[in-house]
Structure 1
């Protein structure tokens, strides 16, 4: 076999290896998957961290920037939390002893669960969550809608 064949084969193998490596290491953009890998699971869509809520919320928001965030820890203390809104999720970071409890909900589930914290600031989500501007992504339709 010629040297040219080996060079082309080597370059092809390197390109394939690079593509596979990127695919394996790539984050799919889902805060829920990242949270499930980063924190200890304690229940269905509920996780625990030994860090304070502000530190945990900062970690999550640094990795996955939220559309909006409500922080009422100063006003409510242990009864408050930090609530982050994503197009298809609501993440709540709440005080839990010396650490934090992290919940991950659907838009309607999180809005309902934390309505007393976010109801005055966030609009109700549409059937498909919120768009990147925080507006309900689908508000219904059909004959006579919008009148």
Structure 2
């Protein structure tokens, strides 16, 4: 459990801490997948641009702008197939991880909204109800999780 969440001892009980820890874990999973998707999208875009530049300089310019010659040179080199496979693989992996990212975002948002809706049950006493704002501020400043409003 996060040290920051452990330090909320007088204000929150153990089940609430576990719920907040679960929220932090889901946020980290979502952020990690978001970063991976961006890197794979950039990698596939970079590979595609690199292949297009290479293909234009190495194949199109040296083939005299003849379509049969360009196609022949394209098929003769196995390197072209490797390039296309790498581009397609990076793009397909980015699409796969994008679906996982959307699922992780939905899970995170659902749990976040549940914490907001159940805040009356999680901090039932008037003293703790006033202190919950401090908990919400800690979650926002330390982990970037907004528990004040349900909207994203």
Q: TM-score, normalized by length of structure 2?
A: 0.27
Q: Which has the higher strand share?
A: 1
Higher helix share: 2
The structure with the larger Rg is: 2
- Relative to the length of structure 1, the TM-score reads 0.27
